[in-house]
Amino acid sequence: MENMANKVARIPNLVDWSTGEVRLMSAKCNSCGTYFFPREHYQHRPGCSREGVENVLLPHKGKLASYTIQYYPCPAPFKTEKKITPYGIGLVEFEDEKIQVAGIITDTDLKSLKMGMEMETTILEMFTNEEKQQVVTWAFKAVK
């Protein structure tokens, strides 16, 4: 993994790299078994006691369940220093957790995108903040 020092997520509690791999910060309800992303996007099964929700990290790798290529710049408050358009957006499935998560596709030939291909979680550098830190978001890239 590249040097992650001096990098900060634009919004906290979504993406983690403390384990040495970039992983999404999810939560699991131990009563109804549902995984949530973001953590606070609760989606309990009706009748669930909602007891025992714990923070978990999603696996580093998943499979591409859908994708699109965005051809025009996303309006503010989205912000990147470098022009990234056109960029891919993928829906990556984490099979055991029974959840699909959306994110920008980076560092991948967009023409090579195929349903079902293996993807890994990574980060995308968006811009440099006033503290000279690289502000990042989560993203996905094809496993090479």
Partner 1 sequence: MRDVYIIGTGIHPWMGFSEQVFADFAAVAVDNALKDADIEWKKIQAIMAGIFIYGGNAGHLSGQYLESIFGETGVPVVNVYNACATGSASIRMAYNSVAAGETDTALAFGADVSPKGFLTAKSDNAVQDRDVIRWKMGGMPNPIYWALECRKRMEKYDTTEEDLALVKVLMSEYGSKNPHARFKKTYTIEEVLNSVYVCDPLRLFEICPVSTGAAAVIVTADKELIAKADKAVKINATTMGSAIYGDPTIRISALSCPAVPEAPMLSESYSASRQAYEKSGIGPEDIDVLELPDNSSWHYLVYLETCGFCKDGEADKMLREGETKIGGKLPVNPSGGFSSHGEALSAQALWQVIECTNQLRGRCGERQVENPKVAMAQTYGLMGNSGTTILSV
Distance of CA 75 to CAs 12, 14, 80, 85, Å? Answer: 21, 21, 11, 12
3-state secondary structure of 29: strand
Kindly write out the interface string for residues 76-95 of this chain, putting x where it contacts partner 1 by CB under 8 A and - elsewhere: xxxx----x--x-x-x-xxx
**Residues 43 to 62: which contact partner 1 by CB under 8 A?**
43-46
Contact 103, 89 (CB under 8 A): yes
Residue 99 CB, nearest approach to partner 1 (Å)? 5
Which residues of the chain form contacts with partner 1 (CB under 8 A)?
A: 9-11, 14, 34-38, 40-41, 43-46, 65-72, 74-79, 84, 87, 89, 91, 93-95, 97-104, 115, 137-138
